[in-house]
Amino acid sequence: MSSMLASDLNNPAFVGPVNPDTLLADEFYMHEPEDVHKSEAEGRVVRGPAIPYVRISAAGDHTSVMEAPVQEQHKRRWPDKWLYFQIQNNMVEGAAEIPGWKIEEWTHLNPEQVRELKYMRFSVVEQVANASDAQCQKMGMHGMSLREAARVALRERVGADVKKEMDRKDAEIAELKEKMAKFEAFMNEKQAPLKARSG
C-alpha cells in the first residue's frame, strides 16, 4: 500500500483544505507613492497621484508586512474585500449615476446597514423597495421588513413632495390674487375722477 500524503482525507492530522489567503491579514487603501526621480531632482519628497495599494501581513505577525500597488492577482485573491474597497471609494462604475434617493440619505439605516447594502450593489432606496424576495433573504432576517420600510418611506417622501408642490402652487395663486386685487384697486382709483367728470 502506498504511503499516504499529509493532505489525504484518511490522515487524521488533516483537518480540511484551508485557503492560505484566509490566514493573511489584507487591507486595500489609497496611497500617494513617492516619485523618486522628482524627489531627487527637487530635493524634497514629491508624491504622485493616489492609487489603490494593498497591505498584506500574516495575522499577528507585524514583522512580515508587504505593501504594493494593487494588481489583478490581488483583486482575484480577495474579491470581496476589493469590491468593498471600490464601493467605499466610489470606484464602482455606474453606482453614482443611478437616479433616485441615495441610501446614505435614508435616516432609517445605520452606517453598518448602508455598508452592507452598498456591498450588495444597492445604491438607492428605490432598489431596496423593489427588491425581490430572494434579494430580501440575502439581506438577512430583516430583509422583508427593510423592503417594506423602504416602500413606506418612498410613499411618504412622494407625499411630502406633492404637498410641497401644492403649497407652492397655492402660494403662487394667493400672490396672483393679491396682485390682481391691488391692480383692480389701482384702476378703480384712476377711473374714479373720470367717472366723476363724466357723471
Highest mean pLDDT among 2-6, 25-29, 59-63: 25-29
4: in domain: no
Host domain of residue 60:
22-92
Q: For 162-191, write each residue's pLDDT tens digit.
A: 788 888 998 999 999 999 999 998 888 888
Residue 158: the pLDDT is 79
Full-model pTM: 0.40
Strand boundaries in the chain, DSSP class E = 24-31, 51-58, 65-69
pLDDT of 65 > 90? The answer is no
Give the pLDDT of residue 76. Answer: 83
Considering only 50-54, 120-124, 143-147, which range has the smallest mean pLDDT? 120-124
Query: Do both 114 and 63 map to the same domain?
Result: no
Q: Which of 81, 123, 75 is nearest to 103 (CA)?
A: 123
Residue that terminates a domain, selected from 92, 118, 146: 92
Note whether 177 and 116 are same-domain residues. Answer: yes
Q: Residues 58, 60, 65, 67: is their CA dihedral positive or negative?
A: positive
Q: Please state, in angstroms and rounded to a whole number, the distance separating the CA atoms of residues 194 and 199.
A: 8
Best CA proximity match to 64, nearest among 52, 73, 75, 55: 55
